[in-house]
Chain A
Amino acid sequence: MTKVVVAGAGAIGSLLAAHLARVADVTVLTRREEHAAALRRDGLRVSGRGDFTAELGATADPAELPADAGLAILACKGTDLEPLAARLGGRLAGATVMTIQNGLGAEEVVAGHGDWPLLSAVTFMSGTRHGDAHVEYVLDTATWIGPYRGTSEAEARRVAELIEAGGLKAEAFPDLRPAQWSKLVFNATVNGVAALTGLPHDFHFAQTGQLSDLGGLVRDLVDEGKAVAAAAGVALHDDPWEMNVLATQRGHRHFPSMLEDVEARRPTELELINGSLVREAQRLGVPVPLQTAVYRLVKAREASYSE
């Protein structure tokens, strides 16, 4: 069986690890030893759209990871990626490494810590952690995978097939950037607006009847993002406005992680998402006054934690 390392066991990492453990030999790298101990002792339970408990290996010590792993998925939050990649430096020599963080720039961060072949991924699935050894599978939308450095579409397809065999949805692309940028523009807009207003991603985000309706702002933010993508030479895979409308019609109120982060007064993924979009816009000379305003406001909100 393929040996797979899943580094980071938040909701996304836990969902990937548990499902992959049905078809591969999975070891989870956690930050806390008691988290690893709980996984070794209890296995990892999936509820919601799944109902099973996976047996898998787990450790908080990178030295204990299988040296012959063929695939390592870095599934931590973007804010934790740099230290995680540093801990993996010099290890997993035979592995292809896949990033799955929101925003842009995760691949470059990892590339700076080793010469692994790299795959890019974005995921649209969601889950909720109910403890170290229990994750609820909420949205069963797909994970998209593409080559980044020293990899091919065929390799992306093999990983997508492995994930599908485990019971999750996945799809391979020759170039991930169109999908990645669709999600970037979507996340920068929806997460930023949710974090500032305190609204979960609900019908307000698609409401456009009056001048002060939130949907008008969302659409204008998306338009700025589209202009940046176009200037970067990326033909978006999905229209982020349609992604937004569709998501608000699902009838359940999704709480974007950036909203949960500001409510818990945690650092957000602002820099990887909104920050990278605004910096790309600046580099390409595309004016994005509204995205810039949202970026600055959320950044200031983080600064207010110390008040």
Chain B
Amino acid sequence: MRIAVIGCGAVGSLFAANLSLLDDVEVWAFDLNELHMAAINRDGLRLSGAGDVSGRPRATANAAELPACDFGIVATKAMHTESAIASTAHAFADGCVATVQNGIGNEETLARHVERVIRGTTFPAGKLLEPGHVQWDVKGDTTLGPYDERTPFAEVERLADACTRAGMPAHAVEDARGPQWRKVIFNASTNPIGALTGLTHGRVCERPDLRALVSGLVDEGKAVAAAQGIELDADPEELIDHAAQPEVAYDHKASMLQDVEARRQTEIDYLNGGIARFGRENGVPTPLNEAIWALIKGMEASWTQS
């Protein structure tokens, strides 16, 4: 079996390094970060932290070098999905492409370029320390499901099985929208609030007025999910309160807060923006998500001024 990881930042590297340990899988890593790719080819791909792994995927920054693959795992930031799949689709003419990205709308983008798409949601996290070396912060599960009837369920199971054997537990389910929407609603209701206020997750949650705003955002997201017949696998509110505990993520600065502090473009279009777009399509009003979307877009616009 041949698997190509498209977008080899922190999360992509976790998949690439672990999967490359399997004897029956040939792993390719594709990313535009040439230093990272060269380091992987020279020294291998090292993970440290939650797990210590030295993997040996083949790495390239040149999409044309990718051979025909059975599976793709797309792990770019959501705003790069279109360009990533446009340049690599040739490798998946007979394969399936899974997204393990944040947000909603990535599957639709992939489906414009490849036939068989797998919807995925993943919870492991890490960060790129230096070329060839990724810190593995959190272990976590991955849920995979067919995007539509063109994707055989047996293929979804085959990919989930490979991930699980490689130490990245994955479940194949018929409808993977539940976990996806739970994560999106969680992220959309908390990350931008941290980014706009500068507060950590715990401090957002301990201010009753702000926590109520978070719930307002959650409620809109739930209504949009419900209108599509999506059953959330758990209540995002529980995830939010769980994360607010001191020993979990009280002091955690949301990745979006880290993004805005570094003035990096955020994934807001695929979080609150995704909820708002699907809300419009399903006749569900999402005024708070639209407001937060516009505020973060305004913040991004302020960096290119002055």
Contact = CB atoms under 8 A, between A and B. Distances in A.
Nearest to B286: A211
A271 to B, nearest CB: 13
B200 A307 contact: yes
Contact of A296 (B198, B200, B213, B273): B213
Interface residues of A, number: 29
Contacts of A211: 273, 276-277, 280, 290, 293
Interface stretch (A64-72, A143-151, A214-222): A214-222
A217 B193 CA distance: 16
Interface stretch (B39-47, B51-59, B204-212): B204-212
A213 B298 CA distance: 8
Given A197-B302, A290-B288, A293-B291, A212 B269 contact: yes
B214 to A, nearest CB: 10
B193 A297 contact: yes
Given A216-B290, A300-B207, A300-B210, A307 B198 contact: yes
Interface in A260-304: 289-290, 292-294, 296-297, 299-301, 303-304
B207 A303 contact: yes
Nearest to B211: A296
A294 to B, nearest CB: 8
Counting chain B residues whose Cβ lies within 8 A of the other chain, the interface size class is 35 or more
The dominant DSSP class at the B interface is helix
B302 A198 contact: yes
Contacts of A303: 197, 199, 203, 207
B49 interface: no
Nearest to A300: B197
A199 interface: yes
B294 A297 contact: no
B171 interface: no
A304 B260 CA distance: 15
A212 B288 contact: no
A289 B198 CA distance: 21
B63 interface: no
Contacts of B213: 292-293, 296-297
A199 B287 contact: no
Given A216-B294, A293-B216, A297-B196, 6 more contacts: A193-B295, A197-B299, A214-B294, A217-B291, A294-B291, A299-B209
7 contacts: A198-B302, A200-B306, A214-B301, A293-B291, A297-B210, A301-B198, A303-B197
Interface of B: 193, 196-200, 203-204, 207, 209-210, 212-213, 216, 269, 273, 276-277, 280, 287-288, 290-295, 297-299, 301-303, 305-306
Question: Which 7 A-B residue pairs are closest in the complex by CB-CB distance?
Answer: A197-B298, A304-B198, A198-B302, A300-B197, A217-B294, A199-B302, A214-B298
